[in-house]
Amino acid sequence: MALPGQGPVAILVAISFAAGLNVYATVATLGLLGHTHWLELPPSLSLLTNWWMIGASSVLFGVEFFADKVPAFDLVWNALHTFIRVPVAALLAYQASSGLSPLEQAAAAAIGGTIAFAAHGGKTAARAAVTPSPEPFSNAALSTAEDVCAVGLTWLATVHPYLAGGIALALVVGVVLMMRFVWKALRRLFRGAERVVEQT
C-alpha cells in the first residue's frame, strides 16, 4: 500500500491486524488517508477513496461502535463478523499487491487473512473473558480500546510502518501463544450467539 522502500509489508501486516479488530474503521480510515493523499494507495484500491465508500464504511463503523458494546448481542455481532473481517482483510491484501505475480498476490491474501483471523481470535478471547462480568463498563471499555487500536494502528502504519507492523506482529505472536484459549473462546462465542438467537 505504499511505494517501495516505505515498508509495504509492514503496512500490510498492520492493516490486516486492524481489519481483524474492526474492518469498517480500517476501511474508513484507509479511504480518508487515501483521499487526502496522506497514504498513496495503489490503483486497485482507489475505490476506497470514493466518498460513497468512505461514508458507507463510516456509517457501519458507527453501527458497530454501539452494537459491539451491548452485552450478549456483541456475541452475535462478532460471530457474524468472523465471515466479514477475515475475507475483507484478505481482499485488501490481494488488491494491495496487484503489482505482484498471481502467486504472490495469493500469498499476500493468505497472510492478510491469517493475520486478521488472529486479531479477530484475540479480540474474541478477550471479549469472552470480560462478557460474563455483571457490569457493562469493562465490555464497553474493551470495545472502545479495540476501535481506537484499529484506527490508530492504521494511521501509525502510514507514518511509522515498521513500528506499526512490529506492534501488530507482536500481538499476533501473543495470540498464537494463547491459541488454545482463543479456540475455546471462539467455540463459546458461536455457542453463545446461537443461544442469543434462539432466545430472540
- The set of cell numbers assigned to 65 is 461502535
Residue among 4, 160, 22 nearest 97 (CA)? 4
Model confidence, pTM = 0.86
Angle in degrees, 0-180, between the axes of helices 137-159 and 102-130, rounded to the nearest 10 = 150
Interval 180-195 mean pLDDT: 68
Please report, for residues 11, 29, 60, 186, the alpha-carbon distance to residue 137 in angstroms, rounded to integers and kept in the order given: 32, 26, 22, 22
Average pLDDT, the chain: 86
**Domain-wise residue ranges, the chain:** 8-199
Top pLDDT among 144 and 128 is at 144
- The set of cell numbers assigned to 31 is 479511504
The residue type at 107? A
Give the tens place of pLDDT for each residue, 25-82: 999 999 999 999 888 888 889 999 999 999 999 999 999 999 888 877 877 888 889 8
CA separation for the pair 52, 50 (Å, rounded): 5
